[in-house]
Structure 1
Amino acid sequence: MSVRISLDGVDKAFTDRRTGERQQILRDFSLTLAPDELVAVVGGSGTGKTTLMHLIAGLERPDAGTVSTGGGRPRLGMVFQQPRLLDWTSVETNVRLAATAAGVDPAEVAPILAAVGLTDYARSYPSVLSGGQRQRVAVARAFVVRPEVLLLDEPFSALDELTARRLRLLLQQLWLRAPRTGLLVTHNALEAAFLADRVVVLGGRPAEVVQEYRIDRPRPRSPEDPELFDVHRRIVAALT
């Protein structure tokens, strides 16, 4: 089950710690994510991408306007740029703790580790894993909770391109098994075109929607799809 997410007339400002000045990040900003829709948000630094994610996650509150997440607090799955694992315990325990906290049967852990290709590393500690393997643990941890909303904050930007490509394909595979409402924040226009149903380009400060692109390509998608490269070119043009 997934939910509709709506931001309506949202204002958000922060105080610059160095100057003490108020920086207006969002003003009268509105955006809707339909159930089971994966929306990618791209834009330059300081255009409010991570602020949007924090508002949806409930980590920040709007100064004005409303953020609606289906009338309640949906179950969240989150993947960050850094995996943020518990290095003093095993891969299996990292994922099991997330499942237990969400009230999910721990029996779900083994299948999700198999899905991300980590069955043989279940008893390993994160410190012995590669960067790509550590991020696979983070993906497993996000999906094992059966999230109604999936939030992806630059999840593959710290990886080399070959590893990132493999993880994008993995994420697509997991999404096909159980779609849910999702927000992907990324600087990578091709990643946005490959993964998302809709790409929202932000610009300016306060941030505004510069352009939107609907990706009408069926899944599973190929990273070599020429139509995705065409969308990529249009996104880059909107950013420049």
Structure 2
Amino acid sequence: MSVQVTLDRVDKAFTNRRTGERQQIFRDFSFTLAPHELVAVVGSSGTGKTTLMHLMAGLERPDAGRVATGGGVQPRLGMVFQQPRLLDWTSVDTNVRLAARAAGVDPAEVPRILAAVGLTEYAQAYPSVLSGGQRQRVAVARAFVVQPELVLLDEPFSALDELTARRLRLLLQELWLREPRTGLLVTHNALEAAFLADRVLVLGGRPAEVVREYRIDRPRPRTPEDPELFDIHRQIVAALA
């Protein structure tokens, strides 16, 4: 269950509402996300990482060029944001069940995905009583229960302490190993990018361009302590600097 996404010579600009200045985010930008590939995008704030994700999700349209997907239809999306964006007035089970129902997925999948993210015993709990890491596990479950063809992850672990974020990176790797998807990860964490991704793109400039690309050839499952990942991490940080 996967899809290819291609940005072909895309232009995208926004007008600053305060100054009226036209800000060119992308010009003649091309990029292909291959089936079953997880690509991480890193770069300083304002380089277009989130705009790239919104273009791929169909939330923004290019001013020129095209965003193409296999089959010519918008793929089924699973999205995980920096904040979980849960419905605090209903249970964990219902939060995930509503996502499944909206996607036309059999709600019988809900117990399986809750088990996969380690939340079976919290199925009837309300999000307000969960820790930050548990809430983000619910967000991951909601993204994966829809059986997505494309998974978009917008700094999903940046609001968590490092130990909790590490656990969730390992969980995400486990979910990917069980059923590979096509995915785009936006992150400021170079080690997270190296650990999770098949490729890491460093965006820079305005309009944005890919200033460095790293292919991560380490086999999965990976360990966060792998010295080769630390070496790639150092290279990415140097490129960002």
TM-score, normalising length: structure 1? 0.99
Give the CA deviation at 1:21: 0.8
Give the CA deviation at 1:84: 0.2
Partner of 1:145: 146
Give the CA deviation at 1:69: 1.7
Partner of 2:101: 100
- Identical amino acids, percent of aligned pairs: 87
Where does structure 2 lack aligned partners over 5 or more consecutive residues? none
Specify the SS of the correspondent of 1:117: coil
Letter in 1 for 2:124: R
Give the CA deviation at 1:127: 0.5
8 Å Cα contact 1:56/1:69 also seen in 2:
no
- State the number of aligned residues: 240
8 Å Cα contact 1:41/1:184 also seen in 2:
yes
Give the CA deviation at 1:173: 0.2
Partner of 2:162: 161
Residues 1:15 and 2:15 aligned together: yes
Partner of 1:216: 217
Letter in 2 for 1:45: S
Partner of 2:190: 189
Residues 1:29 and 2:29 aligned together: yes
Residues 1:171 and 2:172 aligned together: yes
Give the CA deviation at 1:164: 0.2
Specify the SS of the correspondent of 1:106: coil
CA distance in 1, matches of 2:188, 2:213: 15
8 Å Cα contact 1:81/1:158 also seen in 2:
yes
Which 4+ runs in 1 deviate beyond 3 A?
none
Specify the SS of the correspondent of 1:194: helix
Give the CA deviation at 1:17: 1.2
Partner of 2:55: 55
1:26-46 per-position Cα deviation (integer Å, ceiling 9, x unaligned): 111011010000000000001
Give the CA deviation at 1:65: 0.5
Letter in 1 for 2:12: K
Where do residues 114-153 of structure 1 align in structure 2 (5 Å cutoff)?
114-153=115-154
Letter in 2 for 1:58: G
Partner of 1:68: 68
CA distance in 2, matches of 1:95, 1:39: 26
Letter in 2 for 1:52: L
8 Å Cα contact 1:78/1:152 also seen in 2:
yes
Specify the SS of the correspondent of 1:88: coil
Where does structure 1 lack aligned partners over 5 or more consecutive residues? none
Specify the SS of the correspondent of 2:68: strand
Specify the SS of the correspondent of 2:108: helix
CA distance in 1, matches of 2:231, 2:65: 36
CA distance in 1, matches of 2:208, 2:103: 34
CA distance in 2, matches of 1:58, 1:110: 30
